[in-house]
Each structure stands twice: as structure tokens, then as C-alpha cells.
Chain A
């Protein structure tokens, strides 16, 4: 049995496994936290759409830590858990409107291959959520992916 991933002494007793690791580089970790906070505070795209995309990415990556977490801003904005439960069926489930389908389609394509985003698909997203929504959602999906991959790397059981 090898060593576990190291946990910083000053991470605090309530710190997650992830926070315990990255707290070894506190300024850098804090800057990531600020990016995440500003992502959920911006108004170019709503938090429920972001959360559904975050959870869809978690489903595709099988990131249980991410699937078991709800972002407070999304919950406060009325995230529908029935919609969350239906996420794997978003292409055919009528509860997902065309705007959500467009955004979820982008999230899946970005996870598979950003080069595969076509002019047509980008245009549809811009038409659905505006240029701001397209840019923020694209950056957000990349961040959702890598922060989930980090939890998978260290075997984190919770977010």
C-alpha cells in the first residue's frame, strides 16, 4: 500500500480530500476558488443551466463526488431534481426545452472533443443563450471537467 494523497495540516477538519491536497499551495488554490465563485455569480447564463451541464459531465465521467453535490446557487435558483434524474435522456425527454438541449449538446461535445464544435453548433448556442452565455458555458464546461477529473484522480468520495 502506497502513501495516500497528502493533506495539508491547515486545511481544517472539515476540508474535503481535494481541498486538503490543493491547500498545500494555498494562494493558487484560493485563486481557483475565486474563479469558481465568479462563475456562479456571473449573469451571462443562469445557474440551473450551468448545474445541469455540470451534472451531465459528471455522469459521463462517472464522478460520484460531483454527482452527490449540488451547487448552492443552482439549488437556490430552483434546480428541479426530476430534471436531474432525467439528464441521461435529455435528447428525447420533452421536459428539456430546446435551449437546454442546445446547451447540453455543447457540454457533451466539449467533453468529447472541442474541435468537434462546428460553426453551426456554436451559432445555435449563441442564438439560444447569447454570446456571453456561449463563452461562459464553454469555459465552465472545461472547468467542470478538470475539477471533476481531479476528484477522480485522488479518489475523492465527496466534493
Chain B
């Protein structure tokens, strides 16, 4: 880990069209068809598993306004032991499986996922999972994580 940026340049400087496409990928992700609180739980767990302090500490104010609170974060990595509803638990199992052992998300989990989410919503969750980690890795590897490890609201 580095506390100083390892390059003077950013992705936008060296590959502007790629950075522009990445920004558009981010822009069309919202408002989306899955509730923002569930997507926020997925994003924070993804950030934790990528060891990205920005991702794990960022909190979207819009999600807070829709019911997200910090007690939900306590059981992100063992959702069956918390108070989260089944639909959020299965999204967290999806997230963990995706980022650790995708094949472990078996038929029963897929059935539960499709019981709670429409095909459009499932597509959105998968596209979220594809989107978050590349940016996290770029932030970490390029040494652009913040020095302070506290919650940030945006």
C-alpha cells in the first residue's frame, strides 16, 4: 500500500476515451431498478473484499435517506447472522461468491435470487459487480487511497 500517488497522470489523462466510457458506465448505473440500499450493501462489501478504503468507507447520502444505516454493515460478511431481509442476504451471498468463488453460487441461491429480483434487477446487480472492482483496484494500485480511513458521505 502506498500513501502517495504512484503516477502524476490519471486514466483520463492517458486514455480519455476509455475514461469517458467508464464515466458513462457509472452514469447509466443510476437510478436503476434495484433499491439503493441493497446496491449500497453490495458496493460496500465489494469494496471490503477489494481492500479499497474509498469504496468501503463511502456512503451515498441518497441511500442513507432511503433507510441505509451502519448497523446493516455489521453482518455484511456473514449476512445469515444479522437482521437483513432474505432478499438482501442473497445479494450479499451473490457478492461474496462473485468475488471469491463464483461457482459456489449454486442452484438454490440462484432460485432465491430470482424469487426476489426480476431479470432486469439481476442484470443490474451483475453489472454493478463487474463495475466496482476495476475502479477499486486502480485506486489502490495507483496509490490514490486517502490517508485517513474514515467514513465519507457523498
Contact = CB atoms under 8 A, between A and B. Distances in A.
Interface of A: 1-3, 5-6, 8, 21-25, 27-29, 31-32, 34-35, 37-39, 41-42, 44, 106, 110, 113-115, 117-119, 122-123, 126, 131-132, 134-136, 138-143, 145-147, 149-150, 152-155
B16 to A, nearest CB: 9
Contacts of B120: 24-25
Given A24-B119, A25-B123, A28-B28, A114 B18 contact: no
A148 to B, nearest CB: 9
18 contacts: A3-B110, A8-B123, A28-B28, A28-B124, A31-B28, A34-B25, A38-B18, A41-B17, A126-B7, A135-B10, A135-B11, A139-B11, A139-B135, A141-B134, A149-B99, A150-B130, A153-B98, A153-B126
A29 B21 CA distance: 12
List the 10 closest pairs (A to B, CB-CB), nearest first. Answer: A142-B134, A132-B14, A6-B119, A2-B111, A152-B102, A24-B123, A25-B123, A142-B137, A153-B102, A2-B107
The secondary structure that dominates the A interface is helix
Interface of B: 1-2, 6-11, 13-15, 17-18, 20-22, 24-25, 27-29, 32-33, 50-52, 94, 97-99, 102-103, 105, 107-108, 110-111, 114, 118-120, 122-124, 126-127, 129-138, 140-143
